[in-house]
Chain A
């Protein structure tokens, strides 16, 4: 499995190919969302909604063999595409890797510019929640 850094660099170079054209970037992000695994209907409940997002985002985390598996969904295609990137970078990793991750790819691909500052806040809450889950699993493993 590639490292968090390797996956981020992969994403950065994919976005570099798209260049400055906002339109193609958005279409690309929307397509990425299609790649996200189907979100389990049973998990589509209020407790799994992330606060701070204007569009709705559902997020769950499960521990499998000491690794954290994230599942996520959104009711908007662009947000869904963006969270698919986070899932791609963080899902399937050890809790400590996740909680310590420096997610520099977000700035590098110009996410704030793409989605506007309000959505960026939503994304920040999404990341906070992912790290929070990771810390919780970490605490459990250490207990």
Chain B
């Protein structure tokens, strides 16, 4: 596939429309990315040609569906360089992946008085499951503070580590700030005290090359829908030796080896954690999203997104009353900001009137907003199909809006 943005945009039907009479400029990619035609066609083709329940059937369709489903598992394994595909568990999304770890690994390995470390910039889905666990078993939640630029304070993290630390669960790239955390160093230091590390990769997997073996993370959670794939589907990667020691998550079909009323034995990983008929169609279509990404290659995607972010930062930095939130050195393509004297919601609605889709509010990171003493931000986030001219229109519109209160 040649890397011209116009040819990439051709793959995304949804981008070619007007909203409020203006061409759509979609800058809400951190919430969810749009889906290329290949993904849409795979969804359709699965239901049109292959629909069957997987794993148990003796017939041709079941076999075809099973092979395609398992093929995506292999592709996901390659995508993050897992040692083996059995370490890839399909879930509903990042949220369920984290909850799975909290309720299985957490219940078994985290006891009263043990500690779980998270950071100030976590998404609610990487806060609440740990609060629930701590409430249930008397473990303690510790929070790494962050600097004004939105970077974790590494010294403070090191101070929190102790033999009581059982798990460090941290976002790889922040959805509200864009900050890329120094996860390799974090994993190193956590392992030194015997703690395991879960990475919330919801925002990082679409931008950064991920090698779970090189990172040596114990778990990685991410969502297909932020990776040009379908909604309601996610992945939990876990190291085999840990997954094998974890009790099952939900009980039901697929996850068992043998059921008698006296005793049930559980299936091997990954099936032990995939109770019930899974999201077959979306898993298969997700394979096409991964093909799309690997066709472009992550370094090219990242280079393009970085240049859009840099351009947006350059243009908006000249705007009177523009207040960037999150100015870390290492960032994914997220630009969070406020306009002096204006509520983020007002800014969002005015941008929408220009056909520009952004997100406003706390972005499911209320404690982070409290840290900055703000109610929320306006967030523009760029994906591979966004263009320089879209960035220009965005910046022009923000400038016009900012002028209302910043003459």
Q: Could you tell me which A residues sit within 8 Å of B by CB distance?
A: 20-23, 25-27, 30, 54-55, 75-79, 114-116
Q: Which residues of A contact B361 (CB under 8 A)?
A: 54
Whether A78 touches B21, Cβ cut-off 8 Å, given contacts A23-B354, A54-B361, A55-B343, is no
Q: Could you tell me which B residues sit within 8 Å of A by CB distance?
A: 20-21, 342-343, 345-346, 349-350, 352-354, 361, 375, 404
Q: Which residues of A contact B350 (CB under 8 A)?
A: 23, 26-27
**How near does chain B come to A53, taking the closest CB pair, in angstroms?**
11
**How near does chain B come to A15, taking the closest CB pair, in angstroms?**
15
**How near does chain B come to A52, taking the closest CB pair, in angstroms?**
15
Q: Which residues of B contact A79 (CB under 8 A)?
A: 345
- In the assembled complex, the Cα of A124 lies from the Cα of B346 at a distance in Å of 19
Q: Which residues of A contact B375 (CB under 8 A)?
A: 75
**How near does chain A come to B127, taking the closest CB pair, in angstroms?**
20
Q: A77 touches which one: B343, B352, B354 (CB < 8 A)?
A: B343
Q: A76 to B21, Cβ gap below 8 A?
A: no
- In the assembled complex, the Cα of A79 lies from the Cα of B343 at a distance in Å of 10
**How near does chain A come to B306, taking the closest CB pair, in angstroms?**
31
Q: Which residues of B contact A114 (CB under 8 A)?
A: 349
Q: Which residues of B contact A116 (CB under 8 A)?
A: 349
Q: B353 to A77, Cβ gap below 8 A?
A: no
- In the assembled complex, the Cα of A118 lies from the Cα of B21 at a distance in Å of 22
Q: Which residues of B contact A21 (CB under 8 A)?
A: 21
Q: B343 to A75, Cβ gap below 8 A?
A: yes
Whether A78 touches B353, Cβ cut-off 8 Å, given contacts A20-B21, A22-B20, A54-B361, is no
Q: B346 touches which one: A20, A22, A76 (CB < 8 A)?
A: A76
Q: A30 to B353, Cβ gap below 8 A?
A: no
Beyond A21-B21, A55-B343, 17 extra complex contacts between A and B, CB < 8 Å: A20-B21, A22-B20, A22-B21, A22-B353, A23-B20, A23-B350, A23-B354, A25-B353, A30-B346, A54-B345, A54-B361, A75-B343, A76-B343, A77-B342, A77-B346, A78-B345, A115-B349
**How near does chain A come to B355, taking the closest CB pair, in angstroms?**
9
Q: Which residues of A contact B20 (CB under 8 A)?
A: 22-23
Q: Which residues of B contact A30 (CB under 8 A)?
A: 346, 404
Q: A26 to B343, Cβ gap below 8 A?
A: no
Residue of B nearest to A33 (CB): B346
**Residue among B20, B375, B404 facing the most chain A CB atoms (10 A cut-off):** B20
Q: Which residues of B contact A115 (CB under 8 A)?
A: 349
- In the assembled complex, the Cα of A57 lies from the Cα of B254 at a distance in Å of 50
Q: B345 to A26, Cβ gap below 8 A?
A: no
Pairs across A and B, CB under 8 Å, 27 listed: A20-B21, A21-B21, A22-B20, A22-B352, A22-B353, A23-B350, A23-B353, A23-B354, A26-B350, A26-B353, A27-B350, A30-B346, A30-B404, A54-B345, A54-B361, A55-B343, A55-B345, A75-B343, A75-B375, A76-B343, A76-B345, A76-B346, A77-B342, A78-B345, A78-B349, A114-B349, A116-B349
Q: Which residues of B contact A25 (CB under 8 A)?
A: 353
Q: Which residues of B contact A55 (CB under 8 A)?
A: 343, 345
**How near does chain A come to B296, taking the closest CB pair, in angstroms?**
33
- In the assembled complex, the Cα of A135 lies from the Cα of B375 at a distance in Å of 34
- In the assembled complex, the Cα of A30 lies from the Cα of B343 at a distance in Å of 12
Q: Which residues of B contact A77 (CB under 8 A)?
A: 342-343, 346
Q: Which 6 A-B pairs have the closest CB atoms?
A: A76-B343, A22-B353, A23-B353, A22-B20, A76-B345, A77-B346
- In the assembled complex, the Cα of A55 lies from the Cα of B346 at a distance in Å of 10
Residue of A nearest to B344 (CB): A76
